[in-house]
Each structure stands twice: as structure tokens, then as C-alpha cells.
Amino acid sequence: MASITLPHEARQAAEVIRRADIVIGIPSYNNGRTIGRVVQAAYAGLAKYFPQFTSVVINSDGGSTDNTREAVLSARLEDQHLLLLNTPLFAAHRLSFPYHGVPGKGSAFRLIFQLAARLEAKAVAVVDSDLRSITPEWFDLLLRPVLFAGYDFVAPYYHRHKYDGTITNSIVYPLTRALYGYRVRQPIGGEFGLSTRLINRYLQRDDWETDVARFGIDIWMTTIALAEGFRVCQSFLGAKLHDAKDPSSDLTAMLEQVVGSVLMLMQEYESVWWDREGSRPVELFGFRYDVGLDPIEVHVERMLAAFVRGCRDLGEIWAVALEPETYAGIQALGRQAAAGVRDFHFDDELWARVVLDFACAYNKHRVAGGHLIRSLTPLYLARVASFVGETRTLVPDQVEDKIEQLCLAFERLKPYLKAHWDGPGARNRGSRKPERAATPRPGSEVTGND
Amino acid sequence: MINTLREILEAALDRLHHQVTTYLPSTLAAVILLLVAYALATAARWFIYRVFKGMTIDKFLRQSGVAFLLDRSGRLRATRLVAETVYWAILIGGFLIAVSAFDTQLTNQMVEGFVLLLPKLVVAGLILLAGAWLSQYLGRSMLVWAVNENLPSPRRLAAALRIIIMFVAVVVAADQLSFARNVFLAAFIILVGGAVLAVSLAVGIAGSQGLRRLIEERKEQRESEGERSLWTHL
């Protein structure tokens, strides 16, 4: 078990509060503009939906230089003029601490989970601090399946703009689905509901100091829940609107942390995904409705220019990482992009092969892991450029169909992945049972749809 | 006349006889030793291929990237590495013993010199290997970073870095072997000094405008990216 070292002031606070049924965790870094509203939503959600529970709102801050922590501690529920039918039996506590260790969302979550374990919380919800569309209902949707239906992990399900969440749509969702066989639509959404059992499992692990400490935390949490057989469901939260936290200048680091975590876990859970075929839906709670989304502008030309640069200069890495057929396909695409072809098209199957080849190369250590994943950036941008071009005139349902087609391409190529994967599973070639099978059971008190 | 000729022939035959009786047994012994060494080396290699697994070394070779550095296919395994090392060590050992069978001043000096040089050769080889690994690793880091940061001529930057690192490794290895120490050191100082001077002049005279333009372009690019605040990748 990883050593648990709570900061002194957090330990003191835990000793004063002693127990809490619900913990709401909000990681932050310079989110003074939005975090007050998130805390208000948390307070309102707790008062409205869980008045009978003791609860704590914990802000785990990465050393903000704005007024983030002051905004957390000064946010008041009265400001919202809520009509509450039940008077909360217990006032929710609020805490704000700076976390220690590697700067990043994962380290912030670690402090929240440690405190939740210390307070023996029955359920934990974590939400991002830059949300503009959060409502009190989100906390009900994230916590109720854990508190009343025995789920361990509640993933978010949102409506997002078709160009939003492109790492999710083009890599993480299709790959996670093809590997572990469950259709968790937003595996790195950022808002989750968690049970004590799962929190304790997370805290037992010793890989908190890896990319998990940063953007890798979301996929790490989702993958562990799926691979180790915890009960998983999704809750429909409406629209996700949030402040920019990932301009393109950070793209490579973000891609490295997220994809690096996916591939690291892929190695660890090889015995789990090896024999899984196809995919099944994961129960979805909440009333689904359509929402309007802000328009998003993207610069396709800039992405294609990055791809052309990659084709010109990264050949020595791609030639090692990719299978010869895949690499030939990429070179042909590069020539098209360089020639300025109007309808640039990055085929689903070719993209799936690229991602799977990179996974195999990572596993075989053909190229240093960091170099390999960072060299994926131009390919990823080309795929996004193609996706933007192909979906420019499509409505959300049609876009979702496109993503579904990509997921099916990943699932079809699983034998290809197994054929090129080099590991105990590939060497044994035998059919082995997964260590634990994730088999979500239907909810009891919560109504499911989908 | 005939007597003189006979004496010369007899002297030549005596010398030949002396040389044959002196060196032939040594040569035969050397050949036999070489054959025995070859047989031993082959047997040892065969045995190691069948017995030695070395999975920990395999893991190190793969994870460090040395496997792909030494063998482009990446199929280098510890078994092969150990078997080939033992094979060549036995062959070289056999060769040295075979040479020492002649027991002359020259051969003794050769053997002694080689034995003294061997550790240095091994260290120099390891330095070159480390240099090759480091140059590949840092060269690729530079390449990927330069491509993603949209810097001009990423491959040239990476190649320059690789050359510098390999050159440093060669200088250190040569120093280890005490081989043309001053020549390499002087070349190294001239190269590094020249490179620093060239870069300083280029940046100072010709590059300042370009650098300013590049920084401004990148700033504008970042600002324009910041404007599309809703596009997120995650």
C-alpha cells in the first residue's frame, strides 16, 4: 500500500470532523473565477438531495496565485435563493488545502481520497473547478447511484460540442471500449461518483507518482474500475461547459499523460482485456434532454501543417513504431496533406491501426515511451482535422454515429492488436479467464435508461 | 667453389631445420589451441543458448532501448548477448594462449600489451555504447520537441545534437585508450568553441530579427488559440 501522508492541517481538520457520509472533492489551480459557483452548486446539491447526511466539501488546491481558496471559503448558499423542502440536519463542512507532491489533478485527487478514507465517507463525488454549466442536480446524479444502488463508479455522460473532447472521441473512448468491453462514453470526463471500496482500492496502489498525478488520473480511475470488476454506471449531466484549461500549447503534454496512462494500464491489465470481445452498454441514469452548445472554431489548416511537418521529420520514429502497411498509409496521407487536398480524409481503420501500433510499440519498447507518445501529436491533429472536415455539416446524432463507426473499427481490429502485442498473453496464446469480470448489475432504486 | 656452395646450402638447410624444429611445434601447438578454443567457444555458446534465460537482462535491454540500439529489429535478447560475449571471450583467450605458445619476446609483448589494454578497450566500448544510446535518446527528444513546437529544421537540430554527443563520447573513449589524446582534445575545444561562437554571431547579427519575429508569431498564435476557449481535447 502506498504511504499515506496527510498534510498536518488536513489531519487536524479530519480529527475535528471525525466522520462524514459524503465527500465532495474539487481540485483547483487558479480557478478563482469559477470555483465559487461550483462550491455553491455543491452546497445546494447536498442541502437539496442529501439533507440527512453529514458532508464535507474539500478543495484540493495546487498553489493558486489568484483568489481560488478565498472563493471556496467565502462561497455562500444563501446567495442562490434556493427553495429547500428539507432543512439540512447537518451543515456541510468546507475545507481548502494545498496538496503536496507532483503538481497536477491526480495529486489533488489523492489528498481528497485520503481525507475521504480518513472520514470513512460512504460516497465521494469529484468535479472540476472550471465548470460553468454545473448544477446542484449533478451531485445527486453522481452520488445517488453509489449511496442507494450499490454502484462503485459513476462516470459522467454529457452533451458536448462535436469538436469538444477530441482525445476522448478519437483515442480514449474507442480504445477503452475495445479493450475492456464497456461503453463508458466519457471515460476522462472529470466528474465522477465513487464508493469507499473503490477509493480504498485507489489508495492501495503505488503508481500515484506517474502520469496519474496529472491528466492521467481520469482514465486511471475509469480503467481500474472497469478492469477490476467494480460496478460501473453513467449519469446524464446535461451539457458540459467549462473554461479553457488546455490550450494547444499544452496538447503534447496532455496527450502524453493521458495516452501514457492508457498504455501503462493496458500492459498491467493485459490478462483482463485479452479475451474480451465486442462491447456492451453501461447503464445510464438521469433524464436525457437536448441542450444548446456554444459554437467552437477550429483551425484545420494549422493541424494539417503540423501533420505535414510530422511526416517530413518524424519518419525515423514512425517507421519503427508503425507496421509497414500503416506507415505507408500515413506517408500517402502526408503527401495528400502537403498537396493541399481539399477533402482530407483520415480513414477510421487507418487511425485505429495507428493507435494500436503505437500501443504495441510502447509495449515492446521499440522507442522510448515519452518519444513515442509525443510523436503521436501530429497524427492526432491530422485525425482531428479529418474529423472536423467530415462532420462540419453533421448534427450531433450523426456525429455520434461517426464516433460509433470508429469504435467498431477499434473492436474489429482487436485480433490485429493481439497478433502484434508482445507479452505473456501473446506468448501463451491460450484463452485465459480475466482476473475479475466487470458485470454491472441493474440498479435497484435508481431508474436507468438506455 | 663447389665446397662453398655446399657449405651455403648446408647452412641454409641447417637454418631451415633449426627454424622448423623451433617453430613448427609451437605453430602446431598454437593451431591446436585455436581449434580447442573454437570448439570450446562453440560448445559454450550452444550451451548458453539452451540453458541461460536472463529475463531480467532482457527486460533491461528492452526498457532501456539498448535492444533496439544494437539490433534494429529489437530482437536482441540477453541469451544472445551473453552467448556471443562468452563465445568471443573464449576465442580471444584461445588466440592469446596460442600466440603465447611461441614464447618469443615479440609474442610475449603482444600478449602482455593486449591483456593490459583489454580493460581499457572494454571501458572505451561501453563509453561509446553509452554515447550512442544517449545521442539517440536526446536526439529524438530534440526532434520530437522541435516538431511539436514548430521550430525550423528539427532534423538538423537533432542531428547536430547527436553529433556533438557522439563526438564527446569518442573523445572520452580515446582519452581512456590514451589514443591521440591531444589531437582529440584540441579538436573538441575547437569544435565546441567554434560552435558557440557561430551560434552567438548568428543570433547576435543575423538572427535577432528572425528570433523576434518567431517569438512574436508564437505569441500571436498562442493568443489566437486562447480565444477559442471552448475547444478542449479531453
Q: Is A378 on the interface with B (CB under 8 A)?
A: yes
> Is position B62 within any domain?
yes
* Mean pLDDT value of segment A98-127: 90
> Is position B35 within any domain?
yes
Interface confidence (ipTM) of the complex: 0.80
Residue A431 to residues A228, A281, A363, B2, Cα–Cα distance (Å):
18, 24, 20, 95
Kindly determine whether residue B62 and residue A365, on different chains, have CB atoms separated by under 8 Å.
Answer: yes
The highest-level CATH class for domain A8-295 is alpha beta
Q: Is A366 on the interface with B (CB under 8 A)?
A: yes
Integer Cα distance of A114 and A96 in angstroms: 14
Residue bearing the bigger pLDDT, B19 or A373: A373
Kindly determine whether residue B232 and residue A190, on different chains, have CB atoms separated by under 8 Å.
Answer: no
Chain A residues touching B145 at Cβ < 8 A: 374
Mind listing the pLDDT tens digit for each residue in A315-370?
A: 999 999 999 999 999 999 999 999 988 889 999 999 999 999 999 999 988 888 89
The nearest CA of chain A is from the CA of B183 a distance in Å of: 34
Nearest to B234 among A243, A254, A297 (CB): A254
Residue A3 to residues A109, A119, A200, A209, B28, Cα–Cα distance (Å):
15, 17, 13, 12, 69
* Total number of domains in chain B: 1
Q: Rounded to the nearest 10 degrees, what angle do helices B105-148 and A300-313 cross at? A: 170
* Mean pLDDT value of segment A59-72: 84
Integer Cα distance of A418 and A416 in angstroms: 5
Please tell me the predicted confidence (pLDDT) of residue B105. Answer: 85
Integer Cα distance of A387 and A390 in angstroms: 5
Average pLDDT of chain A to the nearest whole number: 86
SS (H, E, C) A66-117: CCHHHHHHHCCCHHHCCCCCCCCCCCCEEEEEECCCCCCHHHHHHHHHHHHH
Mind listing the pLDDT tens digit for each residue in B125-159?
A: 999 999 999 999 999 999 999 999 888 899 999 99
pLDDT band with cut points at 50, 70 and 90 for residue A153: very high
Chain A residues touching B137 at Cβ < 8 A: 368, 371
Whether A274 has a pLDDT exceeding 90, the answer reads yes
CB A403 within 8 A of CB A392: no
* Mean pLDDT value of segment A243-262: 75
CB A112 within 8 A of CB A60: yes
CB A194 within 8 A of CB A126: yes
The bridge status of strand A22-28 relative to strand A448-449 is: unpaired
A 144-183 residues inside an 8 A Cβ radius of B: 161, 163-168
Whether B226 has a pLDDT exceeding 50, the answer reads no
CB A391 within 8 A of CB A399: yes
What is the SS3 assignment for A438? coil
Q: Which range of residues forms the domain containing residue B33?
A: 1-103
Side-chain-side CA neighbours of A28 within 13 Å: the count stands at 34
Nearest to B230 among A218, A296, A365 (CB): A296
Q: Rounded to the nearest 10 degrees, what angle do helices A396-412 and A348-364 cross at? A: 50
* Interface residues on B facing A, Cβ-Cβ cutoff 8 A: 62-63, 65, 67-68, 74, 137, 140-141, 143-148, 150, 154-155, 222, 225-226, 228-234
Residue extents of the structural domains in chain A? 8-295, 300-428
> Is position B43 within any domain?
yes
> Is position B228 within any domain?
no
Residue A106 to residues A11, A71, A216, Cα–Cα distance (Å):
19, 22, 7
Kindly determine whether residue B140 and residue A242, on different chains, have CB atoms separated by under 8 Å.
Answer: no
Count chain A–chain B contacts defined by CB atoms under 8 A: 99
DSSP class of B202: I
Please tell me the predicted confidence (pLDDT) of residue B215. Answer: 74
